[in-house]
């Protein structure tokens, strides 16, 4: 840690590696993309530390992670050869799996699978809200979207996730 209270990027990687990986994994839904996302994020962190003001480091990191993820999503959308991302208002198909009645105990893998099926923009705000713990205002500021948009995406994301889990039951998971 430098005397100014600003950590080096190596310190960020060491002390917040698991946090970054968790957020990245919840956003991307798989290990390979999560690792790539963390790598991209740390490149931005390294450049951004020059202007970083000591404060809520995890908030800053989650903001960079989510924006990097959404940048990637938009980049892929612009490429015709890439698989098109989900449209925000499309209806989610149920998760394939055992037809088990929805109970209070849903496994993490099922929640992650349902999360991965959300439209990217919905998933981004849901992760920031329910995984990272950001307020609506922080999310609006981080993603540069209106507060009303944050509110509707969070609600619709949760509603779709619940519907997907209710439709497909749950399977074994982590």
Partner 1 sequence: MTAASGHVGDALSALLDGELHGPEAEAARAHLASCAMCAAESIAVTQARSWLRSLPPVEPPADFYVRLFADDADDANDAGDGGDAREAHDAPDATVTSLVVSRRSRVRAGVAAMAACAAATGVVLGLVSPHDSPTTPPVTRFIEAHATAVGDGDPVSQLAPAVVPVAFRP
Phi and psi at 60, nearest 5°, equal -65, -45
Total residues at interface with partner 1 (CB under 8 A): 54
Quick check: 152 binds partner 1 (CB under 8 A)?
A: yes
User: Is 25 in a helix, a strand, or coil?
Assistant: helix
Whose Cβ is closer to partner 1: residue 3's or residue 53's? 53
129: contact with partner 1 by CB under 8 A = yes
Task: Rule CB under 8 A: say whether 97 interacts with partner 1.
Answer: no
104 DSSP 8-state letter: S
Q: Which is nearer to partner 1, 3 or 104 (CB)?
A: 104
Q: Can you tell me the distance from the alpha carbon of 66 to that of 49, in angstroms, rounded to the nearest whole number?
A: 17
5 versus 173: smaller Cβ distance to partner 1 = 173
Q: How far apart are the first and last CA of the chain?
A: 35
Give residues in contact with partner 1 (CB under 8 A): 10, 13-14, 17-19, 21-22, 25-26, 31-40, 42-44, 47-48, 68, 71-72, 74-75, 104, 106, 108, 111-112, 115, 126, 129-131, 135-136, 151-152, 154-156, 158-159, 161-163, 165-166
């Amino acid at each position: 840690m430098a005397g100014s209270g600003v950590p080096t990027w190596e310190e960020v990687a060491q002390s917040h590696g698991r946090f970054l990986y968790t957020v990245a994994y919840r956003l991307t839904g798989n290990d390979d993309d999560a690792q790539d996302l963390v790598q991209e994020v740390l490149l931005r962190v390294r450049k951004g530390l020059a202007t970083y003001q000591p404060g809520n480091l995890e908030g800053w990191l989650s903001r960079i992670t989510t924006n990097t993820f959404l940048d990637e999503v938009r980049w892929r959308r612009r490429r015709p050869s890439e698989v098109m991302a989900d449209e925000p208002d499309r209806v989610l198909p149920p998760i394939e799996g055992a037809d088990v009645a929805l109970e209070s105990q849903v496994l993490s893998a099922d929640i992650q699978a349902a999360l991965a099926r959300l439209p990217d923009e919905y998933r981004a705000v849901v992760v920031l809200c329910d995984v990272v713990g950001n307020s609506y205002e922080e999310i609006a500021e981080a993603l540069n979207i209106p507060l009303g948009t944050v509110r509707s995406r969070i609600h619709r994301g949760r509603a779709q996730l619940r519907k997907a889990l209710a439709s497909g039951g749950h399977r074994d998971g982590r």
